[in-house]
Structure 1
Amino acid sequence: MYRISTRTVAGGDWLTLGEASRLLGVDPDTLRRWADNGKIDVFTTPGGHRRFLRASIDAMLPRPRQARRQSLTALGEAPDRVASEFRRRVRTDLASQDWYSRFDEDSLRWFRERGMRMSELLLGHLDTTRRAGRDQLIEQASLLGREYGVEAKRRGLSLGEATQAFLFFRARFMAEIAQVARRRALASEQASLLFEEADRALDRVILALIQGHQA
């Protein structure tokens, strides 16, 4: 691999014609022509040698494309399956929660039905990559989160207990998303995009829940 030597000329880092053309992957004659046409910054030494501003060369290099998050379906995960596994996790751990015993059967039914709807909205959010579709689904999830907060307060739960209940569901939702990443052996970048999107959505919901409880 060739070595790049930089020189400070007229207050900046400059490259020789050969160095600059190798970085860009073009013929030196092509780079000379670009310089003659004013397409790139060039400095001519007293000896007649061209020097190219490193920043200008860097700006011409192709930028790596930013990875886009894939939908659950594109990853090979059916949202219905993920929802089913999430509900199984919740059922397994629910009875051990202190706040759970505070609910009567009617309250449990109310929260169970809306919990199912919440998971559908959140997974739908993760299953679309269209901005408009994501925004619509997360707005519905936020409204439902606010409704959760209002109802939890009406049924006697403190804000701390309502938040604890939501964090219980959040932890199991994120655990299921982690399972998706493991099952599909996602590359770290794609897994991070999935986790970040789920985190942002859940943050919106818990803020709405708090606002609903405080209303």
Structure 2
Amino acid sequence: MTDATAKKWLTLAQAAEVLGIHPTTLRRWADNGSIPVYITPGGHRRFLESDVVVFVKHQEQQITPNNQQAWVSYALVETRHRLQTSLPPAGLTAFDAEQREEQRELGKRLLGLIMQHIAMPVDDDSLLIEAQSIAVRYAQNSIANHLSVRDGLEIVMFFRDSLTEAAMQMPQVAQLDHEAQIRLLRKINQIFNTIQLALVEYFHEQLPPGPQS
């Protein structure tokens, strides 16, 4: 038996049933390259059963909801510890009580966003758009308090470091395997890269040309 005849192909509906998702979702994943697909001369999508099995196994290795919650809890502890034991960015003191409360709400939105991003089997552009909106609101508050783009980035990096440190400790905290830890770090970096770029872009759009300290 040749390799070609040994391969078992699945239709879109069959592969979607194996994955437990709607065919429309699988069609989108196939079109954006998240799962290998073959297009027949007639324009129909076909999936190798072996590719679908590999995809399923990969999903089984994703971070569980319990591990997500463990990371959030540890991230909050790490952030409080850093605020108490190290010198926080100077820009944090520029916000009044009402603005600090809004910053906390933005932080909660950000944590929820990262948890959604972690849970998604493939990247969802809508979550990155939401991250950009958080960055814009944060930039607006920063500009209103006469902070520079450097000040804003220092604050973002302070919290990024806290969340990254929490992710680095996850194998000890929740017995997270190496592959899942790498995925967690990648997701955190993807969100924060989006936020930092959006922050800089908003500053450049709103402020007149000139050096930013």
Q: Please state which band the TM-score falls in when normalised by the shorter chain.
A: 0.5 to 0.7
Q: What SS does structure 1 have at the residue aligned with 2:169?
A: helix
Deviation of 1:125 (Å): 1.2
Q: Percent identity?
A: 18
| 2:113 maps to 1:124 | no
Match of 1:46 in 2: none
Q: 1:155 aligns with which of 124, 145, 154?
A: 145
Q: 2:99 aligns with which of 90, 104, 107?
A: 107
Contact map agreement 2:63 2:180 (CA 8 A) in 1: no
Higher normalized helix content (fraction of residues): 2
Contact map agreement 1:71 1:129 (CA 8 A) in 2: no
The superposition leaves residues 62-121 of structure 1 with CA deviations (integer Å, 9 ceiling, x where unpaired) of: 899474561442xx4143x43333223222322531222222222212212211211111
> Which has the bigger relative contact order, CA under 8 A and spacing at least 6?
2
Which letter maps to 1:186?
L
Q: 2:180 aligns with which of 179, 190, 212?
A: 190
Distance (Å, rounded) in 1 between the aligned partners of 2:171 and 2:120: 17
Contact map agreement 1:142 1:208 (CA 8 A) in 2: yes
Q: 1:170 aligns with which of 135, 157, 160?
A: 160
Distance (Å, rounded) in 1 between the aligned partners of 2:107 and 2:162: 12
Match of 2:28 in 1: none
Deviation of 1:140 (Å): 1.0
Would the alpha carbon gap of residues 178 and 72 (structure 1) be closer, same or farther in structure 2, given more than 3 Å must change?
A: farther
Distance (Å, rounded) in 2 between the aligned partners of 1:205 and 1:72: 25
Match of 2:195 in 1: 205
Match of 2:75 in 1: 86
C-alpha RMSD over aligned residues: 2.9
Which letter maps to 1:107?
Q
Distance (Å, rounded) in 1 between the aligned partners of 2:143 and 2:154: 13
Task: Mark the structure with the bigger radius of gyration.
Answer: 1
Match of 1:5 in 2: none
Question: Unpaired runs of 5+ in structure 1?
Answer: 1-29, 40-61
Which letter maps to 1:89?
E
Which letter maps to 1:169?
F
Contact map agreement 2:131 2:195 (CA 8 A) in 1: yes
Deviation of 1:162 (Å): 0.3
In the superposition, the TM-score normalised over structure 2's length comes to 0.61
Residue correspondences, number: 154
